[in-house]
Chains A and B, each alone.
Chain A
Amino acid sequence: MAQSAQSVKKRKIKGDGVWGYAFIAVALIVYAMFTAYPVFSAFIISFQEYKPLGSTYIGFDNYTATFKDDLFWKSIKNTIVYTVLTVPVALLLSFLVAIMILPLRKKLQTVFKAVYYLPVVASGVALSLVWLWIFDPMPGGIFNQFIGWFGAHNQNWLGSSATAMFSLVIMAWLSSHGASIIIYLAALLGIDDSYYEAADLDGASFLQKLWHIVIPSLKPTTLFLLVTAIIGSFQVFQNAYLMTGGGPDHATTMVGLLIFDNAFKYFEFGKAAAQSLILALIIALVSLFQFKFLGKDVDY
């Protein structure tokens, strides 16, 4: 009996099993080449002073230099501030937009989904140019004209420490929610109608249905979006690089930008690799915290 079971298993590996491995091989090889190997390589480089013609092993020097670097901690602080200000609002906006799109006819839903998704596929550089135009510091700038209607003086949006971070936050609030909206919408459509019917029979209001049916049902989706949004926010680079360059006076230097500068401005790849591994550890800890405290009753 045992022998026949083993032969069946062997046949499966030789037959369907082989094809299964063959199909995932492409993804696995791509993952190994472009994700696993660079990570492993970064780990090695983080203990080296990297030089194209031959690196030298320097132990934990890159890590100790990073921990002693005031700019690194400032960039971590900036990144946390940016994350705290952007992620919750972005999730709330995505949720509200998805709720507003939900009752529409399917064709209209598709139109709105496409409209909200467009910034995701648009070039980040092109979007930044538009935002630079919006944040023009002179009186003719769009935001300055807007606040001028309320009697406020024009602001040096990206050039002042008081407003530079807030400007990047506004930019995050008002763009690129497309993916979250679509995921929320799919989750909303997945809620069984019988819950709403039962609530209607009980005379529940819209807000009661939202609180007692929608929000609990969307908890796994919200947790997923929260974790991925925080990971993305910790890695934010493009906006700071293109809009402020990290200034003024490092007010918008995010850790991703600092890592880029160390790698590509100063060719300190070892230090950059060490900093990216520290960042990865921070992200992993934050994600673990989220799963532990927010994901107790979430099942995927």
Chain B
Amino acid sequence: MMNKGKALSLMLAATLSVSALTACGGNKNDNGASSPAASGSAAASGSASSGAKDTITALLPPVSPTYQDNFDQMEKDFNAKYPNLTLKIEPASWEDMTQKLDTQVNAGSPPDIAFIGSDGISKYVQQGMALDLTDAVTPEMTGDYDAVPLEYMKNGSGLYGFPAYMEVHALGGNKQFLEEAGIDWKKVQKDGWTYDEFRDAIKKGVVKNGNTTSRYGFVFATAGVASKDYLGIMAKSAGMPASFNKDLKYALTSKNYLELLTDLRQMIDDGSMPKELSSVDAGKRWNMFLTGQTMITGKGLATFENSAKKNNAKIDANDGSAVKDSIKVDYIVLPVPTFAGAAPVSSTVVDGYVAFRGKKEPTAEHKANIAKAAYFLSSGQVAATTNNDLFAAHITKSGRDAAASMKIDRNPDNVAAVETMLSHAAPARPDIPADLGAKAIKIENEVIVPKMQALLAGEIKPQDMYDAVKKAAIDAFGQDGIVQD
């Protein structure tokens, strides 16, 4: 009797432990009846005429500070434009956006449209869940977009959605500190800078009180959600604009990569960056920037100028919600330095409205309706309002036209600097096959990010990290699949 009880309790313990960790599998036999995509498809397939009623579902995060406040209006405007169509928006926070979408995708019932980064498209393509809209979009739609950001929404020959904006990953400087350090920031904005010039500049930005550093020259967020940013952004201007070169060989085994790692470590050893950099997350470094603990910060997005201005206004108004101990900051957009003699290539983020399919193949009409909704959300008035909110450059003709009458308080030098950087933005790489992309992402997550943390913490040498990445790359792609220069 006792043994049975123990056996039962053991079984329950084991069962609970498995169930706690494996509540992730979907039901293969799920017919997806409750799937928004499936219901949309069903609605579309129920009639053959182009005026048939249909519902398009969209999972959207707070893209800009006021974006989610406008959902009702966006739904109404879409319905006014297409009376037979209903746009049903499901809001999500940034924190649970990916998890929510991934759960829906893996259950076979994703929304028709989700707002994600273009770098996430390949994994959904590999799963077969991203929806190719190539034959559903019209030339008028595609002709509205700038060519470069539109390319980012492609994988292979497929077009999987429309871009909302293309933002450049820059650095941000404190104008007063830059000028005190004798840095000609206007020249840097125009002509860029090499690593050696940058290294000298950030050394000049360091302020010490005895043995304590009260201000660093440069602080980049490297922890938490920003863990991939630092190396990823810098590598672009070190001759590695993508993980694969044009011959589809893994590029991060190039000698430039070792030189880049050496340079990144050197800035900490110089004392220009904090030795605790590996634990500095996005919030911490912004706080350090606003409180005058660093002269330059990264990564910088155009909208940070707006954030700095808002905090300045709070300081002027003696508003208690201003960042504690913050000082007034004139935010200056600065380019990323170039490494190893490489040409400048700006890292960009292209986010947009990506289309998904459910377990059932959507009808041609439903696909066309999804394209209409994605286009509506990423162009015209909606795009103009959102991108102005973000200080992001407009990437559609209709967005530019709609924004012409909107006023925006932006430093013209920063606008010009962003335009310069966008002019040499890293090109999209739809030619990289999804399976290669997935392997590169796994190397990034399992080798590069952990080793980079160790490198920044001073626990390994640049050569150790380079060797580890090279070994993982050879394991994944073979000797012939990597760059060996």
Contacts and interface: CB of A to CB of B under 8 A. Distances in A.
A53 B108 contact: yes
Contacts of B441: 266
A160 B459 contact: yes
Contacts of A260: 21
A263 B276 contact: no
B453 A248 contact: yes
B13 interface: yes
Contacts of B6: 291, 295
Interface string B457-475: 1011000000000000000
B405 interface: no
B276 A52 contact: no
B127 A267 contact: yes
Interface stretch (B23-31, B131-139, B163-171, B233-241): B23-31
Contacts of B10: 284, 287-288, 291
A269 B460 contact: no
A281 interface: yes
B457 A269 contact: no
28 contacts: A38-B23, A38-B25, A39-B19, A41-B22, A42-B19, A50-B26, A53-B127, A53-B359, A137-B276, A159-B277, A159-B456, A162-B459, A227-B13, A231-B17, A235-B20, A235-B21, A247-B227, A247-B453, A248-B450, A248-B457, A259-B22, A267-B102, A267-B106, A269-B26, A276-B17, A283-B13, A283-B17, A284-B14
Contacts of A263: 22, 24
B16 A231 contact: yes
A138 interface: yes
Interface of B: 2, 5-6, 10-11, 13-28, 99, 102, 105-108, 123, 127-129, 212, 223-224, 227, 274-280, 284, 359, 438, 441-442, 445-446, 449-451, 453-454, 456-457, 459-460
Contact of B450 (A55, A247, A259): A247
B17 A248 contact: no
Given A52-B127, A156-B279, 10 more contacts: A45-B22, A52-B26, A137-B279, A156-B276, A158-B279, A159-B277, A234-B17, A264-B24, A269-B106, A272-B22
Given A137-B276, A266-B438, A266-B442, A250 B450 contact: yes
Interface string A19-36: 000000000000000111
Given A264-B99, A264-B102, A269-B25, A52 B459 contact: no
Most chain A beta-carbon contacts within 10 A, residue among B26, B28, B276, B277: B276
Contacts of B457: 156, 159-161, 248
Interface in A255-300: 256, 259-261, 263-267, 269, 272-273, 276-277, 279-281, 283-284, 287-288, 291, 295, 299-300
B127 A287 contact: no
A220 interface: no
Nearest to A261: B445
A279 B19 CA distance: 11
A11 interface: no
A178 interface: no
A157 interface: yes
Interface of A: 34-36, 38-39, 41-42, 45, 50-55, 71, 135-139, 154, 156-162, 227-228, 231, 234-235, 237, 245-250, 256, 259-261, 263-267, 269, 272-273, 276-277, 279-281, 283-284, 287-288, 291, 295, 299-300
Given A267-B123, A300-B5, A276 B21 contact: yes
Contacts, number: 171
Given A277-B18, A284-B13, A45 B25 contact: yes
A31 to B, nearest CB: 9
A282 B224 CA distance: 30
A296 to B, nearest CB: 11
Nearest to A259: B21
Nearest to B458: A160
B446 A71 contact: yes
Nearest to B277: A159
Contacts of A157: 279
Nearest to B102: A264
A71 B450 CA distance: 12
Given A38-B19, A53-B129, A249-B454, A231 B459 contact: no
Given A52-B108, A54-B28, A267-B123, A283 B359 contact: no
Nearest to B25: A45
B450 A256 contact: no
B325 to A, nearest CB: 10
Contact of A39 (B22, B105, B277): B22
A52 B15 contact: no
A161 B15 contact: no
A283 B459 contact: no
The 3 closest A-B pairs by CB, nearest first: A248-B453, A137-B276, A159-B279
Given A35-B15, A227-B13, A259-B21, A159 B278 contact: yes
B15 A39 contact: yes
Contact of A249 (B19, B106, B212, B459): B459
Contacts of B438: 266
B24 A52 contact: no
Most chain A beta-carbon contacts within 10 A, residue among B108, B274, B277, B446: B446
Contacts of B445: 261, 265-266
Contacts of B107: 52
Given A38-B25, A156-B457, A259-B21, A281 B14 contact: yes
A130 B169 CA distance: 30
A197 B278 CA distance: 59
Nearest to A299: B2
Contacts of A246: 450
A42 B22 contact: yes
Contacts of A231: 13, 16-17
Contact of A41 (B17, B27, B129, B453): B27
A231 to B, nearest CB: 5
B438 to A, nearest CB: 7
A256 B13 contact: no
